[in-house]
Structures are given as C-alpha cells and as structure tokens.
C-alpha cells in the first residue's frame, strides 16, 4: 500500500487508476493525514466484504420494520391510465 498526496493523485490520476487495476491500494493524504483510499474493485461486488456488511445491515433494518399497508397485486392498464382509453 502506498501513500500519495491529493496533489500528486490529481496530477497522476490515470496512473493511480492503473495501479488500482493491477491490484494496488493507494491511500490519499491531505496535509499528511489519510483522507481516502483507492483500492481495486472486484468484478463481483457481492464478494466484497464492505458490500456484504452493508447488505446485511440493510436486510436487518428492513426485517426490523413493522409491515404496513397492503399488497396491491398486478397493476392493470386501467389502473395506470383509467377508463378513458
């Protein structure tokens, strides 16, 4: 993992992306403090740990919500456009 300042990353953005494509992770710093990370993205996002954690949190949140409303069923052309066709 290498570090690069915002200025360096901005001036060499295509090289930063090329490095990420090759599997390298680059930490972007501003005034010496890390502010961002550019890392390779897997082709199948469902295998990404961050994606999996976010998905699990979303599913948990949705399961905790009370069911409200009712199911409509199939929407017909009349439902969409009314009787004036």
Q: Which domain holds residue 60?
A: 2-64
Q: Specify if 48 maps to a domain.
A: yes
Q: Specify if 73 maps to a domain.
A: no
Q: How far apart are CA 54 and CA 48, in angstroms?
A: 10
CATH number at residue 49: 3.40.1620.10
User: Max alpha carbon distance in the chain (Å)?
Assistant: 66
DSSP 29-62: EETTEEEEEE----SSGGG-HHHHHHHHHHHHHH
Q: Specify if 72 maps to a domain.
A: no
* Domain count along the chain: 1
- Is the separation of the CB atoms in 73 and 60 below 8 Å? no
Q: How far apart are CA 54 and CA 38, in angstroms?
A: 19
Q: Using one digit for the tens of pLDDT, what is the confidence trace for 34-70?
A: 999 999 987 888 888 888 999 999 999 988 887 776 6
Range of 22-36, 50-64, 67-81 with top mean pLDDT: 22-36
Q: Specify if 58 maps to a domain.
A: yes
């Amino acid at each position: 993992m290498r570090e690069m300042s915002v200025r360096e990353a901005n001036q060499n953005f295509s090289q930063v992306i090329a490095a990420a494509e090759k599997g390298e992770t680059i930490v972007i710093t501003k005034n010496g403090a890390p502010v961002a990370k550019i890392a390779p993205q897997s082709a199948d996002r469902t295998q990404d740990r961050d994606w999996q954690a976010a998905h699990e949190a979303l599913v948990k949140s949705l399961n905790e919500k009370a069911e409200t409303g009712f199911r409509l069923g199939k929407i017909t052309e009349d439902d969409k456009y009314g009787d004036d066709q």
